Structure 1
Amino acid sequence: MKLFALKGSEILGASVARALWTELDPCEERDFEDGEHKARPMVSVRGEDVYVLHSLAESPGSSVNDKLCKLLFFIATCRDNGASRVTALVPYLAYARKDRQTKARDPITTRYIAQLFEAVGTGRVVGLEVHNFAAFQNAFRCETVHLDARRLFCPEIRSLADSLPVVFFSPDGGGMKRVQLLKEAFEADTGLTTSFGFMEKRRSRGVVSGDLFAGDVKGAAVFIVDDMINTGGTILRAAEACRDRGAESVHAVATHGLFGAGVEQLFESLALDRILVTDSVAAASEAVMNFPQARIDVLPVGPLIGEAVRRLHTHGSIGDLLGMED
């Protein structure tokens, strides 16, 4: 087995390697003056089961498109040089939010991304908490593996809730299934009974609307659950609504802390007590350093990905890893 991590994902890659009791294999990446680049493995991959990790979130000096292109080219060169199979480990999968047409002539970008991975010979794509699980499975024709961080979050949620009743809350109608799964995992792990709530959110041409609020949050520890936090507007809107209705404490739970432009308003708000994210993208750990007032807890996801790689390489059970029912 060979394990590589491309530039921008080396820290997470090293965490995955430690979980496997190994080290990252070396690779070369060169940028040329005209904006082109090349990347290649510095060890033989012939006949090897190759895993390439790259999180496709924008970072300073490297756009989403740059990272996607470099990952695809690296996978292709591994295949050209005899790798028996290449698995793309993509903790954050770019373009996953556009998985259907909502306006005339809309692109279905998730499907286009799948076609690109397949075209370069990717044997398997491993994603972490993709935006739409069903769309992810249906877009790809190669094998897909979907990981989630529910079991990582449960102990932290138990600690933050203390003795308060727990309410799991979706900031929009589209995320209710995600919230329900976390609720069920928490109840199974703790034996506690929790409640559920959600609020309406409609977005059209950048304008957010919707006033419906369902659930009793008064006196409770509320955990607003989403797959990602970018500007934080959706989370903040829900947090303020929960506070207005008497929530004792309000926390945000999201796998991907993208923390893009404008997120400062979320960090400065008193509506949230804590923000729980993983280190699936480098921006999460950087935000802890750059915004000490933000009250962010970053949970390591490298051990989960590492164990998934171990099981994939040895033909073990991913369902058991995730606690899925037979």
Structure 2
Amino acid sequence: MRPRIVAGTGHRALAEAVAAALGTEPVTCETERFPDGELRPVVGDVQGADLYLVQPTGPPVNDNLVELLLLLDACRRGGARRLTALVPYFGYARQDRRTAAGQPVGARVAADLLVAAGADRLVVIDPHTAALEAMCGVPVEVLTAVPLLADALGQELSRAAVLVAPDLGAVKLVEHYGRLLRLPVAVVRKTRVSGTQVLAEELVGQVAERPAAIIDDMISTAGTVETAVKVLLAHGAVADITVATTHALLVGGAWDRLQRLPIRRLVVTDTLPVETAGASPLQVCSVAPLLADAVDLLHGDEPAVASPVQGGVGGVRAYPG
């Protein structure tokens, strides 16, 4: 029996691409939306199936998360043999610890909800926190889009380019890109003032008269990218900048902010739906083949994540952390 794909409304195009890569059709699924905001998904026949539910929990995060929970419950009650949640972008992953009294650990709450709703396993791509697996009560397969994005970057970056971590949290990620592309790394130190305002403190590395590629795991409002670009230009970098990220949330005026900057190319994946209209510097790399490969392996009861000793296969492995 082939694995079967269930498409949530969070990213139907990605779910259909994964199903096509597997040579199958998505399970019939419709989601009714009531006037008061309630959701009621209805799935087709899933009795005895090995199901893979595709639903990134990006904006609107709460709606997409609740829909995924209801889909899991509907499939469990429909008699599915095994339920795997393919959550390319895992919302609430940034809330992986408390930074002040009275705060929740949102990542743990979201993971617990998925397990309670019936998920037997979780598949994510480049989660913002390396602690997600430790928080989750079921196995978590962590995939990475880094080789995919590095290949796209390598096709146009010159050997004079420098890769830039826009904050200290992105250093290990950018060092991974540096090893793949054999390029040097620079680091911007920043202080976040609010959800949209960021102050830069200093730059470590040589960027003068060099093209730069700013790399992060996600872009939300683009405040961090904007600050990094200003620092690079102040230190003499060429005004011909590339930006790359796995998760393109692009909310809160991010597009307007990016279009005001001297960005030649924005390279992202389709872990989230990306509006491409009018976005001339945008290049979208699909993660559908990556997810399809993982589904094939998991359906055959093989691990989708390679052993660190093996060094990873085809991007199906998290970057070293």
What's the TM-score, normalizing by structure 1? 0.88
What aligned pairs does 1:4-15 form with structure 2 within 5 A after superposition? 4-15=6-17
User: In structure 1, how many angstroms separate the alpha carbons of the residues matched to 2:37 and 2:212?
Assistant: 47
1:225 aligns with 2:220: no
Contact 1:243 1:250 in 2 (8 A): no
1:150 aligns with 2:146: yes
User: In structure 2, how many angstroms separate the alpha carbons of the residues matched to 1:280 and 1:180?
Assistant: 22
Residue among 267, 284, 300 paired with 1:314: 300
The residue number in structure 2 matching 1:16 is: 18
| 1:168 CA drift (Å) | 1.6
SS in 2 for 1:110: helix
What's the TM-score, normalizing by structure 2? 0.90
RMSD of Structure 2 on Structure 1 (CA): 1.9
1:128-181, CA deviations, whole angstroms, 9 ceiling, x for partnerless residues?
Answer: 11111x22111111010111111111222112213x323221101111111122
The residue number in structure 2 matching 1:81 is: 78
Structure with higher helix content: 1
SS in 2 for 1:117: helix
SS in 2 for 1:321: coil
1:114 aligns with 2:111: yes
Distance 1:264-1:39 versus aligned 2 partners, 3 A rule: closer
Distance 1:235-1:158 versus aligned 2 partners, 3 A rule: same
| 1:257 CA drift (Å) | 1.1
User: Gapped runs of 5+ residues in structure 2?
Assistant: 307-312
Residue among 197, 206, 229 paired with 2:186: 197
User: In structure 1, how many angstroms separate the alpha carbons of the residues matched to 2:65 and 2:241?
Assistant: 35
1:204-253, CA deviations, whole angstroms, 9 ceiling, x for partnerless residues?
Answer: 44553341210111233321111111211101111221122222332111
User: In structure 1, how many angstroms separate the alpha carbons of the residues matched to 2:279 and 2:315?
Assistant: 32
Residue among 177, 199, 205 paired with 2:172: 177
| 1:270 CA drift (Å) | 3.7
Contact 1:236 1:271 in 2 (8 A): no
The residue number in structure 2 matching 1:138 is: 134
Between the aligned residues of both structures, percent identity stands at 32
User: In structure 2, how many angstroms separate the alpha carbons of the residues matched to 1:321 and 1:152?
Assistant: 9
Residue among 35, 40, 43 paired with 2:42: 40
User: Gapped runs of 5+ residues in structure 1?
Assistant: 188-192
> Which residue type is aligned with residue 146 of structure 1?
V
> Which residue type is aligned with residue 28 of structure 2?
P
